[in-house]
Amino acid sequence: MGYLESKEHREFRELIAQFVAKEMRPYHEEWERDEGYPRELLKKLGDLGVLGLRVGPEYGGSGLDYWYTVILCEELVRSYSVGVSVSILAHAEFSIKVIDDVGSDEQRREYLVPALRGETVWGLGLTEPDFGSNVGGITTTAKRVGDDFVINGAKTFISNGSIGDYIMLAVRTGEAGPKGISLVIFPADTKGYSAKKLDKMAVRSSDTGMLYFDDCRIPAKNLVGKEGYGFGYIMDHFQGERLVLSCFGNGVMEELLKIAVDYGTSREIFGKPILSHQVWKHRLADCYATMVASKQLTYHACDVLNTKGDANRELSAAKLFSSENVKKIANEVLQLHGGYGAMNEYVVTKLYRDVSAFTIGAGTSEIMREIISRTMVE
Ligand SMILES: Cc1cc2nc3c(=O)[nH]c(=O)nc-3n(C[C@H](O)[C@H](O)[C@H](O)COP(=O)(O)OP(=O)(O)OC[C@H]3O[C@@H](n4cnc5c(N)ncnc54)[C@H](O)[C@@H]3O)c2cc1C
Q: pLDDT digits over 245-255, tens only?
A: 999 999 999 99
Q: How far is the CA of 371 from the centre of ligand 1 (A)?
A: 15
Q: Which of 157, 159, 244, 354 to mutate to test the pocket of ligand 1 (most atoms within 8 A of CB)?
A: 157
pTM (two decimals): 0.98
Q: Dump the DSSP string for 206-217.
A: S-EEEEEEEEEE
DSSP-assigned beta bridge partners for residue 210: 196
Q: How far is the CA of 29 from the centre of ligand 1 (A)?
A: 28
Helices (H), 267-311: 278-308
Q: Single out the residue of 280, 138, 328, 93 nearest to residue 272, CA to CA.
A: 280
- b/e burial code for range 216-236 (CB count within 10 A of at least 16 → b): bebeeebbbbebebbbbbbeb
Nearest Cα residue to atom 31 of ligand 1? 133
Nearest Cα residue to atom 44 of ligand 1? 366
- For the Cβ of 375 lying below 6 angstroms from any atom of ligand 1, the answer is no
| Dihedral Cα 122, 126, 130, 136, nearest 10 deg | 170
Residue 375: alpha-carbon gap to chain centroid: 24
Count Cβ atoms below 10 Å from residue 45 Cβ, excluding itself: 23
- In the chain, which stretches have pLDDT less than 70? 1-2
What are the backbone angles phi and psi of residue 223, rounded to the nearest 5°? -60, 135
- For the Cβ of 124 lying below 6 angstroms from any atom of ligand 1, the answer is yes
- For the Cβ of 127 lying below 6 angstroms from any atom of ligand 1, the answer is yes
- For the Cβ of 34 lying below 6 angstroms from any atom of ligand 1, the answer is no
Task: Name the DSSP letter for residue 159.
Answer: E
Distance CA 294, CA 305 (A): 16
Q: How far is the CA of 1 from the centre of ligand 1 (A)?
A: 38
Task: Name the DSSP letter for residue 95.
Answer: I
Q: What is the pLDDT of residue 1?
A: 44
Q: What is the pLDDT of residue 4?
A: 81
- For the Cβ of 133 lying below 6 angstroms from any atom of ligand 1, the answer is yes
Q: What is the pLDDT of residue 57?
A: 95
What are the backbone angles phi and psi of residue 50, rounded to the nearest 5°? -110, 5
Q: What is the pLDDT of residue 378?
A: 72
Q: pLDDT digits over 170-183, tens only?
A: 999 999 999 999 99
Strand, coil or helix: 252 = helix
Rg, C-alpha atoms of the chain: 21
Q: What is the pLDDT of residue 2?
A: 61
Distance CA 241, CA 226 (A): 22
Nearest Cα residue to atom 11 of ligand 1? 126
CB of 244 closer than 8 Å to CB of 252: no
Task: Name the DSSP letter for residue 57.
Answer: G
Nearest Cα residue to atom 37 of ligand 1? 133
All structural domains of the chain, each given as residue ranges with its CATH number in brackets, are 7-116 (1.10.540.10), 122-228 (2.40.110.10), 231-377 (1.20.140.10)
- For the Cβ of 209 lying below 6 angstroms from any atom of ligand 1, the answer is no
Task: Name the DSSP letter for residue 56.
Answer: -
Q: How far is the CA of 133 from the centre of ligand 1 (A)?
A: 5
Distance CA 22, CA 26 (A): 7
Distance CA 233, CA 223 (A): 12
**Which residues are part of the catalytic machinery?**
241
Strand, coil or helix: 182 = strand
